Amino acid sequence: MSDVEQTATGDLPGIVVTGASGRMGQMLIRLILESDQARLVGALERTGHDWIGRDIGEAMGGQPAGVQVTDDAVSAIARAQAVIDFTAPAATLGFAELTAQARAVHVIGTTGFEDADLAQLAAAGRHAPIIRAGNMSLGVNLLVGLTRKVAAALGEDWDIEVVEAHHRHKVDAPSGTALMLGEAAAEGRGAALADLRTPAREGITGAREAGTIGFSAIRGGDVVGEHDVIFATEGERVVLRHLATDRAIFARGAIRAALWGQDKGPGEYDMADVLGLN
């Protein structure tokens, strides 16, 4: 039976993973291959990558998985009920167009988007469901709600700082998670993050402006992802913290989102929708 016939008759949603050789790509593929709720129907890499044409299981150093790594995104996505995408903003915008055309669910974990990119994703979301979150873990999505509540409960004399640490390979800052937490804190204060955000400090910055939300980023070694939201006032501090020690938490969230999205109409969703936290 061809791949296309299998997709038409298969019971389980077929998932394509983009950035298949990446840290998240490999974790996703491992978990989808182990899953009894989804099937791997494609593994995408960019043209020229030395995994193209190889079986993805073997390329990852394991048993054959029966899926060859390809750079043919159009054909791969045409076979998919969902695309899980942890790559880079430029790549994700391209995949969003193809996924919208295929009317498949697009689960986006990629971070580092500019406002113009988000407008393009909104356009794609008018044709098929997009589920996007800077962090797909249950713990962080719970922390977002806590951050909103604490920010609302504490007045402006409590300064808010978001501090994050990640591995040496991470290319964007602040992290997508830090921005989610900052947005929640701003919402708790009844404002938009754009109006309160103070970027990384350097030099003679002057004293801290009341009511602002500061961001600091540490990069080093193999840190999977650590986030603190610090509420500081005269004489005391409250610190809300999430520590990720295994990328499986993000991959499990993304697979759950791909399955959740199967009966959803076009639109933009996030992990709070998937987890029923809204």
Ligand X SMILES: O=C(O)C1=N[C@H](C(=O)O)C[C@H](O)C1
Active-site choice (166, 169, 227, 264): 166
106 as an active site residue: the answer is no
Return d(Cα 36, Cα 230) in angstroms, integer: 41
Min CB(166)–ligand X separation in Å = 5
Number of residues that bind ligand X (CB under 6 A): 9
Is 135 within any annotated ligand binding site? Answer: yes
90 touches, from ligand NDP, ligand X, none (C-beta below 5 to 8 Å by class) = ligand NDP
177 binds ligand X, rule: CB under 6 A = yes
CA within 13 Å, CB half, 209 = 10
What are the φ/ψ torsions at residue 119 (nearest 5 degrees)? -65, -40
89 binds ligand X, rule: CB under 6 A = no
81 touches, from ligand X, ligand NDP, none (C-beta below 5 to 8 Å by class) = none
Residue closer to ligand NDP by CB (options 76, 88) is: 88
In the sheet that holds 225-233, the strands lie side by side as: 197-198, 213-219, 159-166, 225-233, 236-244
Using CB under 6 A as the binding rule, the residues of this chain from 108 to 147 that contact ligand X are 111, 134-135
Min CB(144)–ligand X separation in Å = 12
166 binds ligand X, rule: CB under 6 A = yes
Min CB(88)–ligand NDP separation in Å = 4
21 touches, from ligand X, ligand NDP, none (C-beta below 5 to 8 Å by class) = ligand NDP
What are the φ/ψ torsions at residue 44 (nearest 5 degrees)? -100, 140
From 274, 271, 260, 17, select the one nearest 134 (Cα to Cα).
271
Task: Kindly tell me the burial class for residue 217, based on how many C-beta atoms sit within 10 Å of its own C-beta (0-12, 13-18, 19 or more).
Answer: middle
149 as an active site residue: the answer is no
* One-character DSSP codes across 40-77: EEEEE--TT-TTTTSBHHHHTTSS--S-BEES-HHHHH
* Binding-site residues for NADP(+): 46
Catalytic amino acids?
Answer: 166, 170
> Binding residues for ligand X, per CB under 6 A?
111, 134-135, 166, 170, 175-177, 225
